[in-house]
Amino acid sequence: MKKVLTGLTLAVAMGSAQAAEISGTVGFTNDYRFRGISQSSGDAAIQGSLDAAFDNGIYAGVWGSNVDFGAGEDAHLEVDYYVGYGADINDDFSYDLSLNYYTYPGYSSDADYTEVMAGLYYGDLALTLAYSNDFFQTGESASYVAVDYSYGLTDEISLDLHAGHSFGDYWGSSDIEDYEDYSIGISGSVAGLDLSAAYLFNDVEDADETNSDAFRNDDTLLLTVSRSF
């Protein structure tokens, strides 16, 4: 936690000589899914973020959501902190590097952990790679690679495609092992609101699929509405 706060302070200090653009979001979704797995036991979640971006490419922010990890768990909130840097490589390619710190106040054990993430972008195509050497403080590493593509159907509506792969020691020792998650959806803006609808599915074997309560990973229709300010 202290390392992350130090990173956030450093980001602000480095960008203090430049104008900072402050932005935020407030959103609602019928299920908080993280890489295909529910963090809210399949229930709705209210989420929000606050970000500061500087002209030199440095940014920092905080993101939060309610969570539900099942009976006996007192963690009802996730708060994530991040600091990063993004820049253009040329007219076609850009990249992004970030350090993310995930926290779960009230969790029965200390599950807070750090993850590094890198993104490469070409037009509407994005490639993302994330790695943690101590996923959920289990002592095991976990990685995630994802490809996302957004195709403009109209000036206001986009077709969104996603494919992700979770792997590493943590997933190799879990019941579902390494797995892929996918989604196909549409998104757009109406009256200042950002709306999206996506169908999520994965390749988890039927015997290991959870379709109720905590960490459900069944197929679902995800609906989200948010507003940026």
Identify the CA nearest to 15 among candidates 63, 53, 61, 62.
53
pLDDT of residue 10: 55
Report how far residue 82's alpha carbon sits from residue 29's, in angstroms, rounded to the nearest whole number.
Answer: 22
134-184 pLDDT, tens per residue?
999 999 999 999 999 999 999 999 999 999 999 999 999 888 889 999 999
Report how far residue 101's alpha carbon sits from residue 135's, in angstroms, rounded to the nearest whole number.
Answer: 11
4-19 pLDDT, tens per residue?
555 555 555 555 556 7
Instruction: Give the contacts of 202 (CB within 8 A, at least 6 positions apart).
Output: 36, 179, 180, 181, 182, 217, 219
pTM: 0.90
Would you say 182 and 176 are in contact if contact means Cβ atoms under 8 Å apart? no
When pLDDT is cut at 50, 70 and 90, the band that residue 96 belongs to is very high
Would you say 195 and 188 are in contact if contact means Cβ atoms under 8 Å apart? yes
pLDDT at 107 over 90: no
Identify the CA nearest to 76 among candidates 46, 114, 48, 100.
46
Report how far residue 132's alpha carbon sits from residue 139's, in angstroms, rounded to the nearest whole number.
Answer: 10
pLDDT of residue 195: 98
Would you say 89 and 95 are in contact if contact means Cβ atoms under 8 Å apart? yes
pLDDT at 120 over 90: yes
Identify the CA nearest to 192 among candidates 22, 21, 20, 27.
27
105 vs 47, 49, 50, 131, 189, CA distance in Å? Answer: 16, 17, 19, 22, 33
User: Domains (ranges, CATH) in the chain?
Assistant: 2-228 (2.40.160.40)
Would you say 21 and 216 are in contact if contact means Cβ atoms under 8 Å apart? no
User: Could you tell me which residue, 193 or 13, shows the higher pLDDT?
Assistant: 193
pLDDT of residue 18: 64
